[in-house]
Amino acid sequence: MADITDIRAILYTEKTLAMQEDGVLVVQTSPRMTKNSLKAVFQEYFGIKPLRVNSMRVNGKVKRFKGIAGKRPDSKKFYVFLPEDAKIDSLAV
């Protein structure tokens, strides 16, 4: 089962900040995280039950550095829809 250490980052871009105003949090995680395990993490650590969770798998890009091919790690991106009254103080920008 996945836990909070599988959450890599909370994404803060122009688009995601606009989504946060509507109660949607964008989270980047390891590929082994599932929707149900992410919901469990939010309930356990933040005390918030998400309304729904959408997921998207992101394949790592193949990049070259000094002629040697490498690959960025794969990840998953989750769109977590929070209730209107839910606030996570530690995540505020």
Q: What is the tens place of the pLDDT at every residue in 71-80?
A: 999 999 999 9
Q: Could you tell me what percent of the chain has a pLDDT over 90? A: 70
- Global pTM? 0.84
* pLDDT tens per residue, range 27-61: 999 999 999 999 999 999 888 899 999 999 999 99
Q: 69 is written with which tokens?
A: 């091919």
Is 3.40.50.300 the CATH classification of the domain at 1-24+34-75? no
Q: How far apart are CA 61 and CA 78, in angstroms?
A: 19
Average pLDDT across the chain, whole number: 89
Cβ neighbours of 19 (radius 10 Å): 16
Q: Which helix (H) or strand (E) covers residue 36, if one does?
A: helix 35-41
